[in-house]
Structure 1
Amino acid sequence: MNFSGSLRKLIRSFGYAFKGIGYATATQLNFRVHLVATLVAVYLGYALHISVNEWQWVVLTITLVLVTELLNTAIETLVDLVSPEFNKKAGRVKDVAAGAVVITALFAVINALFIFLPKVLILLHYAS
């Protein structure tokens, strides 16, 4: 395969990736909730002038939550495909994948508390 064919294949693969993100956004309420939380975190980071190190944690946390939610969506879709009727083990797979999202979301909340809460408390102290 020549360079131009490889480049077309690469561009096409990005198209598939964005199609997957679009699918998750259109069909998964939790993914949309995480996107809103992302906007809130970015706004707070900007408004509170967080440090570069804190931005690294915020970006890492956002990435982990969104990736975990996308993987959960992929697992749920695959499970529904291979086991359309109720199956106890299929349900367990979906529950475990959802558990991974919950753990990642708790990590996000803890990071948010460490990064944003002290700055908000300082603002509230000066406001009173």
Structure 2
Amino acid sequence: MNVRKFFGSFRFAVEGVRTAMYEQNLKFHLASAAVVLIAGIVTDLTIIEWCIIILMIAIVIGAELINTAIERVVDLASPEIHPLAKQAKDIAAGAVLVFALASVIIGLLIFLPKWL
């Protein structure tokens, strides 16, 4: 294994995250994650609850990164408006929505009993 090449690949990954940081939806997910992390600190979550919260944040942000990549590839492959291109982008966005809604439900299941 080429160690230099291996660690160089991290540079590309970080560049990808930095590029996606300009996306409005990713900014929203990151801001939401910050609010949830602060709420978790204030609420004194258990280690298991922290693991679940961190996993859900990672899933939603990861899904948003994949969605952004799909949108860019579709735009490159089909610069003109095409029904299949729209469907691909809508489906990818729908996947993010499913994960985001699941994370909200899980967050409510974790936080509400502690707050009420």
Band the TM-score falls in, shorter-chain normalisation: over 0.9
Q: TM-score, normalised by structure 2?
A: 0.96
Structure 1 position 9 matched with structure 2 position 16: no
Corresponding position of 2:17: 21
Alignment of 1:34-73 (within 5 A): 34-73=29-68
Q: Deviations over 1:14-52 (max 9, x none)?
A: 0000000001102x1000110011111111111100111
SS in 2 for 1:77: helix
Q: 2:91 aligns with which of 92, 96, 110?
A: 96
Give the match's secondary structure for 1:116: helix
Quote the RMSD (CA, aligned, Å): 0.9
The structure with the largest alpha-carbon Rg is 1
Residues 74-113 of structure 1, C-alpha deviations (whole Å, 9 max, x = no match) = 0000000000000000000000000000000001100110
Are residue 116 (structure 1) and residue 111 (structure 2) matched?
yes
* TM value normalised by structure 1: 0.88
Number of positions where the alignment pairs a residue of Structure 1 with one of Structure 2? 116
Cα distance, 1:119 vs. partner?
1.5
SS in 1 for 2:21: helix
Query: Separation in 1 of the partners of 2:8 and 2:76?
Result: 25
Distance 1:58 1:23 in 2: 25
Separation in structure 1 between the aligned mates of residue 92 and residue 15 of structure 2, nearest angstrom: 21
Give the partner amino acid of 2:40.
G
Aligned residues: percent identity? 42
Moved runs in structure 1, 4+ residues, more than 3 A?
Answer: none
Gaps of at least 5 residues in structure 1 are 122-128
Q: What is the identity, as a one-letter code, of the residue corresponding to 1:17?
A: A
- Partner Cα distance (2:10, 2:95) in 1: 25
